Structure 1
Amino acid sequence: MHDENNPLPRRTKTSKLAASEQRRIKLNGKDVAYVLMRCRRKTIGMKIDRDGLTVRIPPRESLCWVESVLQKRADWIVKKLDEWKNRKPSKPEWADGAIFPLLGEPWRVTVTPAGVVQMVPATSNKEAEENQLKLPLTSMLTSQQIEKAVMEWYRHQAVACFSERIAMYANKLGVALPQLRLSRARTLWGSCNSRGIVHLNWRLIQKPLDLVDYVVAHELSHLIEMNHSEAFWRIVGSVYPGYAAARKKLRGVG
Structure 2
Amino acid sequence: MKPASPDVNQLDLFGREAQSPAAVKPVYTAPVWTVPAPSASNSPPPVSPYVAPPATAVPVKPRALVVPPSDQPPKRQLMVGEFILEYELRRSTRRSIGFMIDDDGLRVTAPKRISIAEIDNAIRTKQHWILSKLKERRERRAARLEKPPIEWIDGAQLPYLGADITLRLLVGGRNRSSYNPATRELSMVLVPGATETLLRERVKAWYQQEAKVLFEQRLDVYAERLGVRYHSFGLSSAGTRWGSCTADRKIRLNWKLIHFSQPLIDYVIAHELSHILEMNHSAQFWNTVGSIYPEYEEAKNLLRKRAQELPVLF
TM-score by length of 2: 0.58
- Residue 180 of structure 1 aligns to a residue in which SS? strand
Q: Is the 8 A contact 2:207 2:255 kept in 1?
A: yes
Is 1:252 matched up with 2:305?
Answer: yes
Code of the residue aligned with 2:260 in structure 1: it is K
For residue 35 of structure 1, report the CA deviation from its aligned partner.
Answer: 2.7
Decide which of 87, 101, 112 is 2:170's aligned counterpart.
Answer: 112
- Residue 112 of structure 1 aligns to a residue in which SS? strand
Is 1:143 matched up with 2:196?
Answer: yes
Q: Hey, which of these two has a bigger chunk of helix by percent?
A: 1
Partners in 2 of 1:193 and 1:101 — Cα distance?
30
Q: Report matched runs for 1:219-234 at 5 Å.
A: 219-234=272-287
Q: What do the CA deviations read for 1:89-110 (whole angstroms, capped 9, x no partner)?
A: 7544333222211111111211
Partners in 2 of 1:252 and 1:178 — Cα distance?
31
For residue 145 of structure 1, report the CA deviation from its aligned partner.
Answer: 1.4
Q: What is the alpha-carbon root mean square deviation over aligned residues?
A: 4.3
For residue 84 of structure 1, report the CA deviation from its aligned partner.
Answer: 5.4
Decide which of 106, 115, 133 is 1:54's aligned counterpart.
Answer: 106
Is 1:102 matched up with 2:154?
Answer: no
Code of the residue aligned with 1:106 in structure 2: it is D
Q: What do the CA deviations read for 1:29-69 (whole angstroms, capped 9, x no partner)?
A: x9985435688469xx78463x2x31659866454885899
- Residue 175 of structure 1 aligns to a residue in which SS? coil
Partners in 2 of 1:166 and 1:249 — Cα distance?
21
For residue 202 of structure 1, report the CA deviation from its aligned partner.
Answer: 0.7
* Overall identity of the aligned pairs, in %: 31
Code of the residue aligned with 2:183 in structure 1: it is K
Partners in 2 of 1:248 and 1:111 — Cα distance?
36
Higher alpha-carbon deviation: 95-104 or 147-156: 95-104
Is 1:156 matched up with 2:163?
Answer: no
Code of the residue aligned with 2:265 in structure 1: it is V
Partners in 2 of 1:5 and 1:177 — Cα distance?
23
Code of the residue aligned with 2:152 in structure 1: it is W
Alignment: residue pair count: 231
Cα gap change, 1:117 to 1:229, in 2 (>3 Å): same
Decide which of 226, 232, 235 is 1:182's aligned counterpart.
Answer: 235
For residue 173 of structure 1, report the CA deviation from its aligned partner.
Answer: 1.2
Partners in 2 of 1:78 and 1:233 — Cα distance?
25
What's the counterpart of residue 14 of structure 1?
Answer: none
Partners in 1 of 2:101 and 2:85 — Cα distance?
14
Task: Indicate the structure whose relative CO is greater, using CA pairs within 8 Å and at least 6 residues apart.
Answer: 2
Cα gap change, 1:33 to 1:89, in 2 (>3 Å): farther
Decide which of 6, 24, 33 is 2:13's aligned counterpart.
Answer: 6
Partners in 2 of 1:248 and 1:212 — Cα distance?
13
For residue 239 of structure 1, report the CA deviation from its aligned partner.
Answer: 1.0
TM-score by length of 1: 0.70
For residue 252 of structure 1, report the CA deviation from its aligned partner.
Answer: 2.3
Partners in 2 of 1:69 and 1:229 — Cα distance?
16
What's the counterpart of residue 15 of structure 1?
Answer: none
Q: Is the 8 A contact 1:133 1:153 kept in 2?
A: no
Is 1:209 matched up with 2:267?
Answer: no
Code of the residue aligned with 1:112 in structure 2: it is L
User: Any unmatched runs of 5+ in structure 2?
Assistant: 2-8, 16-72, 308-314
